[in-house]
Structure 1
Amino acid sequence: MRIVVVGAGEVGSNIAASLSADHDVVVVERDPATVEELTYSMDILALEGDGASRETLREAGVEDADLLVASTDSDETNLVVCGTAKTLGDPLTIARVRNIELLDTWQASQGAFDVDVMVSTDLLTAQDIVRVIGVPGALDVDPFASGLVQVAEFQVPAESDVAGRTVADADRFESLTFAAVVHDGEVSIPRGDTVLEAGDKVVVIGTPAGVQAFSGTVAPDQTLDEADDFVIVGGSAVGAHVARLLAERGVQPRLVERDPERARELAEELPGALVMEHDATDVDFLVAEGLDRADALVAATDSDEKNLLVALLARNVGVKRTVAVVEDGEYAHLFEAVGVDVAVNPRRATAEEIVRFTQEGRVENLSLIEGREAEVVEFEVDAGSVLTGRPIRESVGDLPDGVVVGAITRDHEFVVPRGETEIRAGDHVVLFVAADALEDVMTLA
């Protein structure tokens, strides 16, 4: 597949890095220093120029491109890039936007702006946050099979019930599969005798109920089955979206915004939320309003530094779980290292979402693990698959190493994947696959 990426900021660079091994990638960027860096660091063609220019896009080969991704930091530029590309060829166009009104307009008339797929960074980030705070201890949660299946990643704390236990001991949930363990940055497929050590990350695939039950063993002191006390600090677009999504689920969140005018706007826009005008770095205010007893606090201001401060203050006064938005992806690991439970990077989340659309053929859903060390993919099995009509323990022997059958859905119902389970044509399977094996797996399965 020939892919043209316009804009080599954090989103564009992540997209190019994720796709360069399997596709012919061309990146268009205005900044000459960035172009030079990309040329030497990735196996791609990097061009200096204006991606909204017909001449530049022609030079990038848009006429023959299968996909164009407009990922600059300007919504308007991204729309112009897509429109210009359509005058030269017929690539699938993907535009990254922040303005939710543009997304609303596009959804009302799909194909508007000559954009085939529109990805809203702020809404996507808010959706990620709402999923994560709903599963105690989770670092990431992705839905598959129309919500029948969840893929979740947890970090094992020293005080966890599963720390120091083998996978066989920890695997007490029928509707759950242990897909991977990440130890010292290395991803491996766990066996029954694999020991889950404190600090390891574990990837599980199962029903939402199974994932929720497992989360109680990872973070028993954070059980949120009855959680309804969520605090959002910051009336940014992300913060407002989080509040709206929670309200739609029947939960009344509390949103703290320092600016009086913005607080009034939010109070009018979000009737399902309690908007409080105050500075959330005021510890006395946090305690006086009972925010210290919240089940989770989301720091979603427009400042990474303030989000870190707010999250750490909240953790210090007793908030059960903290989530912070961090725009600079290089800081995400730092946030978590100093005590923030989950750091969500909008640009990385957007890049992963866009990468999903580059999967050709049968892949219906995809999630990236540890950057792209591994992937979780969903697809429909046909009669010619090596998986069809045979027990899983037998059929996986014909697949490359590094593959786990994580879940099966049949006629919109979850089927527990065990060694003796037979997969049928028409079933939807969710596989954990090492990144370097994905192409071979999709050919065989």
Structure 2
Amino acid sequence: MKVVIAGAGEVGTHLARMLSNEDHDIVLLDDSHERLSRISNEVDLMTIVGSAHSFSDLKKTDLAKADLFIAVTPFEERNVLACAMASYLGVGRTIARINNQEYLQEKYRAKLNNMGIHELIYPESLAAKEIVASVKQTMTRQLIEFSNGKLLMLGIKVRDNATVLDKTFEELAIEHQHLLVVAIKRNNETIIPVGTDSIKSGDIVYVVTTPTEQNNVFEMLGKKHFDVKNIMFMGGSRIAQKACEKLGEHYRIKIIENDREKCEQIADKFGHVLVINGDGRNLDLLKEEGIEKMDAFVATTGNSETNILGCNLAKTLGVRRTVAEVENLAYMKLADNTGIGSIINKKLIAASYIYRFTLNAEISKVKCLTASEAEVFEFIAKPGARITQKPIKDLDFPSESKIGGIIRGNMGYIAHGYTHIQEGDKVVVFTLPSGIKKIEKFFK
């Protein structure tokens, strides 16, 4: 597939790296020669210096022969205009990054589609949604819902009090048929478990289960729920503001922000949020504002190191739930190893959303697993697809991948060896990068 990306910022370059690993023909357009030079030294792609809203520069990318155009510059208006221009020049499909919720309203979607803007992505809103889920679901590192919650994937850190420690998965399969462990993160390595493997203390296990059985999973893994009422945000970024908007007035929220003008804007926007003008790294200020009484601490400044340190400080002061926005990918594993409750990275979130449009199989969802290269897909089984031909145990499915469950009609089911996938089923598949192209062939 030929993909043209406009914008060599963090999202664009991360996406280019991701797609280049899949042997796509990538063209990256940006007005900065320096940014393009940096990425071209790392990734096999074509770079073109030019403007995303110039017809002549867009034509240099040979858009008429491209399957997908992705506009992810920092400027929303430029992205929308670039997609409209790219459609006029003959590209197959367009995706525009936006930062305005208004564009997502249903009443405007048809008009935007007519203009040639086929898909919209709002990374800050998606990141805020993950923050809200992390605050509400205190027992998991990551929660992914499939088909509006009919099937769940839970990422859970296992401690010494779990009742399943050191039992093989063959034993667990007999005792607990309501769950399936699809992956284990152990010492920075992601493992696809087999029957003779077992769960160790300190593992992060990724479990597929149903909503009715999730409490049993938490109990087995030694997790107890606690209510979050008091939340402190360090940094009043757009992500923090979107999270406050989604949380509503059911929580007592404080935001500590260094920029006085931004403080005034946030205070005017949210009557139920207490906004403090100050440096969130100041321990005396945090104590003065009652950090010890907080149930959750969310660090969303523009600096990854500050967010990691802030969350670790909050943990030492007794805050039970911590969430850090870590945009610097080099710090993801470091943050994960420090025991932060949840890690948010809008580049990964955006890339996951866009990535599904580059695959030939029909996909309703893609998610990157935090602090791991692995991904989880929700495929739709097409008529006559290879995945529907035999029970799972006879499919010779790639060893780097694992089928976690299926959604059939209004019900979610855990997948077992004898499960026979049918046309129209939504199939939850966990995979390492090396397995993506292999599993795609099963769902074409």
TM over 0.5: yes
Amino acid aligned to 2:398: P
- What is the CA-CA distance between 1:435 and the residue it aligns to? 3.2
User: Counterpart in 2 of 1:23?
Assistant: 24
Amino acid aligned to 1:48: V
Secondary structure at 2:366 match in 1: strand
Q: CA RMSD in A?
A: 3.1
Shift of the 48–237 alpha-carbon distance from structure 1 to 2, 3 Å rule, reads: same
Which of 116, 119, 133 is the equivalent residue of 1:117? 119
1:56-205 equivalences under 5 Å are: 56-103=57-104, 107=109, 109-111=111-113, 114-157=116-159, 162=164, 164-168=166-170, 173-205=176-208
Structure 2: how far apart are the matches of 1:216 and 1:74? 47
Which of 406, 409, 431 is the equivalent residue of 1:408? 406
Report Cα offsets for 1:49-70 as digits up to 9, x if no partner. Answer: 3233222221211111111011
Report Cα offsets for 1:73-99 as digits up to 9, x if no partner. Answer: 222332232232123113311111234
Shift of the 39–234 alpha-carbon distance from structure 1 to 2, 3 Å rule, reads: closer
- What is the CA-CA distance between 1:373 and the residue it aligns to? 4.7
Number of equivalent positions: 438
Amino acid aligned to 2:125: L
- What is the CA-CA distance between 1:136 and the residue it aligns to? 3.1
Structure 2: how far apart are the matches of 1:72 and 1:138? 33
- What is the CA-CA distance between 1:119 and the residue it aligns to? 0.9
Shift of the 304–168 alpha-carbon distance from structure 1 to 2, 3 Å rule, reads: same
User: Counterpart in 2 of 1:227?
Assistant: 228
Shift of the 289–212 alpha-carbon distance from structure 1 to 2, 3 Å rule, reads: farther
Secondary structure at 2:301 match in 1: coil
User: Counterpart in 2 of 1:349?
Assistant: 349
Shift of the 192–425 alpha-carbon distance from structure 1 to 2, 3 Å rule, reads: same
Structure 2: how far apart are the matches of 1:183 and 1:309? 23
Residue 257 of structure 1 pairs with residue 282 of structure 2: no
Shift of the 274–112 alpha-carbon distance from structure 1 to 2, 3 Å rule, reads: farther
Confirm or deny: 8 A CA contact 2:367 2:377 kept in the other structure: yes
Q: Could you tell me the TM-score, scaled by structure 2's length?
A: 0.86
Amino acid aligned to 2:299: A
User: Counterpart in 1 of 2:312?
Assistant: 312
User: Counterpart in 1 of 2:417?
Assistant: 419
Greater mean alpha carbon deviation, residues 204-213 or residues 360-369: 204-213
Shift of the 41–286 alpha-carbon distance from structure 1 to 2, 3 Å rule, reads: closer
Amino acid aligned to 2:51: D
Structure 1: how far apart are the matches of 2:366 and 2:6? 23
User: Counterpart in 1 of 2:327?
Assistant: 327
Structure 1: how far apart are the matches of 2:138 and 2:176? 16
- What is the CA-CA distance between 1:116 and the residue it aligns to? 1.5
Secondary structure at 2:255 match in 1: strand
Structure 2: how far apart are the matches of 1:53 and 1:215? 54
Confirm or deny: 8 A CA contact 1:136 1:216 kept in the other structure: no
Shift of the 52–274 alpha-carbon distance from structure 1 to 2, 3 Å rule, reads: closer
Secondary structure at 1:364 match in 2: strand
Confirm or deny: 8 A CA contact 1:205 1:211 kept in the other structure: no
Amino acid aligned to 2:440: M
Shift of the 35–402 alpha-carbon distance from structure 1 to 2, 3 Å rule, reads: same
User: Counterpart in 2 of 1:439?
Assistant: 437
Shift of the 129–161 alpha-carbon distance from structure 1 to 2, 3 Å rule, reads: farther
Unaligned runs of 5+ in 2: none
Report Cα offsets for 1:287-329 as digits up to 9, x if no partner. Answer: 5655423332111234445433432332121000211123333
Amino acid aligned to 2:127: T
Structure 2: how far apart are the matches of 1:436 and 1:308? 30
Confirm or deny: 8 A CA contact 1:26 1:46 kept in the other structure: yes
Shift of the 296–216 alpha-carbon distance from structure 1 to 2, 3 Å rule, reads: farther
Amino acid aligned to 2:269: E
Unaligned runs of 5+ in 1: none
Confirm or deny: 8 A CA contact 2:359 2:440 kept in the other structure: no
Structure 1: how far apart are the matches of 2:383 and 2:139? 39
Structure 2: how far apart are the matches of 1:169 and 1:261? 59
Identity %: 27
Confirm or deny: 8 A CA contact 2:139 2:225 kept in the other structure: no
Amino acid aligned to 2:19: L
Shift of the 44–158 alpha-carbon distance from structure 1 to 2, 3 Å rule, reads: farther
- What is the CA-CA distance between 1:159 and the residue it aligns to? 6.3
Shift of the 224–291 alpha-carbon distance from structure 1 to 2, 3 Å rule, reads: farther
- What is the CA-CA distance between 1:161 and the residue it aligns to? 5.3
Shift of the 8–211 alpha-carbon distance from structure 1 to 2, 3 Å rule, reads: farther
Report Cα offsets for 1:216-275 as digits up to 9, x if no partner. Answer: 55563xx3354333333332211111112122xx7324132345654454344335x432
Confirm or deny: 8 A CA contact 2:30 2:50 kept in the other structure: yes
Structure 2: how far apart are the matches of 1:164 and 1:294? 35
Q: Could you tell me the TM-score, scaled by structure 1's length?
A: 0.86
Shift of the 219–91 alpha-carbon distance from structure 1 to 2, 3 Å rule, reads: farther
Confirm or deny: 8 A CA contact 2:4 2:69 kept in the other structure: yes
Structure 2: how far apart are the matches of 1:388 and 1:91? 30
